[in-house]
C-alpha cells in the first residue's frame, strides 16, 4: 500500500486517534470521563480492525472488529460504569496531580516507541511499521498509567489500554491468525472482570480504591 493512499491515511488516522485518546486517559483523574475515553478507544479499535479487514481482504478481521466494538466499546465500559456508580462519591475520582509530570514522560515514551520500532522493522512494509510503532506507544502509555496512578480503576484502564495496543498490532500484521486475536481479547476480558470485582469489593470493604491501603492489612509499613 503506497504512502499517501486513502487506505494508508485512514488506517493511520484511526491509529493516531487511538494514541490521542491514550493521552486523554493518561491525564484524566475523574472516573466517568476515564471510562468514556476507554469506550471511545474501543470504538476506534473496532473501526481500525474493520478497516484492516477491508484493506487486507481478510474476513476474520471483520470478526475481530465486531468483537472489539461489542466488548470494548459497550460491554466493558458498561461494567466499569456500573462499578463506578456503586462506589461512594468520594471514592470515584482520584486527587488531581500535576499534568506535566505525567504528560512529559508520556510524550517521551511515544518518541521512544518510534525510535525503536521503525528502525527495527526495516524489512516490513511502511504501513505495518508505523502501525506497530503506534501500537507500542499506546502500550507504553497504558503501562505508564498503571505505574503513575494509585486507584484500582486506573490500573484496570491501563491494563485494557495495553490489550487494545496488542490487538491493534495484531490486526496491522497481515496474516495474523484469528485465534491469536481472540485469545488476547478473551484473556484480558477475564482479567478485567476479575479486576473490576476486586475493585468493587475493595471499595466496599476498605473504603478506598488505593492499593496502598492493603499494606496495613498485610502488616507492611509498620514501624
How many Å apart are CA 35 and CA 212, to the nearest integer? 22
- On whether the CB atoms of residues 172 and 132 are closer than 8 A, the answer is yes
C-alpha cell read off for 114? 518510534
Asked if residue 99 is part of any domain, the answer here is: no
How many Å apart are CA 121 and CA 112, to the nearest integer? 14
- Provide the pLDDT for residue 156: 82
Asked if residue 24 is part of any domain, the answer here is: yes
Asked if residue 100 is part of any domain, the answer here is: no
- Provide the pLDDT for residue 108: 92
Asked if residue 11 is part of any domain, the answer here is: yes
Asked if residue 1 is part of any domain, the answer here is: no
Residue 36 has pLDDT above 90, yes or no: yes
Asked if residue 95 is part of any domain, the answer here is: no
Asked if residue 30 is part of any domain, the answer here is: yes
Best CA proximity match to 206, nearest among 194, 222, 218? 218
pTM exceeding the 0.75 threshold for the entire prediction: yes
Residue 208 DSSP class:
-
Band (pLDDT 50/70/90 cuts) for residue 19 is: very high
Residue 213 DSSP class:
G
Question: What average pLDDT does range 130-146 have in this prediction?
Answer: 88
Whole domain around residue 159: which residue ranges? 6-90+105-218
Asked if residue 223 is part of any domain, the answer here is: no
- On whether the CB atoms of residues 138 and 22 are closer than 8 A, the answer is yes
- On whether the CB atoms of residues 28 and 54 are closer than 8 A, the answer is no
Number of domains, the chain: 1
Amino acid at each position: 500500500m503506497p504512502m499517501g493512499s486513502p487506505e494508508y491515511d485512514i488506517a493511520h488516522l484511526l491509529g493516531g486517534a487511538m494514541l490521542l485518546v491514550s493521552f486523554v486517559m493518561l491525564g484524566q483523574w475523574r472516573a466517568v470521563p476515564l471510562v468514556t475515553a476507554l469506550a471511545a478507544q474501543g470504538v476506534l479499535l473496532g473501526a481500525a480492525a474493520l478497516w484492516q479487514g477491508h484493506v487486507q481482504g481478510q474476513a476474520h478481521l471483520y470478526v475481530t472488529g465486531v468483537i472489539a466494538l461489542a466488548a470494548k466499546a459497550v460491554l466493558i465500559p458498561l461494567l466499569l460504569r456500573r462499578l463506578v456508580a456503586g462506589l461512594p462519591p468520594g471514592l470515584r475520582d482520584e486527587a488531581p496531580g500535576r499534568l506535566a509530570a505525567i504528560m512529559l514522560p508520556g510524550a517521551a515514551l511515544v518518541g521512544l516507541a518510534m525510535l525503536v520500532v521503525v528502525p527495527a522493522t526495516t524489512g516490513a512494509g511502511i504501513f505495518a511499521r508505523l502501525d506497530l510503532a503506534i501500537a507500542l506507544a499506546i502500550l507504553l502509555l497504558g503501562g505508564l498509567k498503571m505505574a503513575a496512578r494509585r486507584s484500582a480503576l486506573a490500573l484496570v484502564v491501563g491494563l485494557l489500554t495495553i490489550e487494545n495496543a496488542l490487538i491493534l498490532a495484531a490486526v496491522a500484521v497481515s496474516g495474523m491468525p484469528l485465534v491469536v486475536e481472540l485469545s488476547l481479547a478473551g484473556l484480558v476480558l477475564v482479567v478485567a472482570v476479575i479486576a473490576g470485582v476486586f475493585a468493587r469489593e475493595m471499595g466496599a470493604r476498605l473504603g478506598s480504591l488505593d492499593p496502598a491501603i492493603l499494606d496495613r492489612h498485610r502488616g507492611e509499613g509498620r514501624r
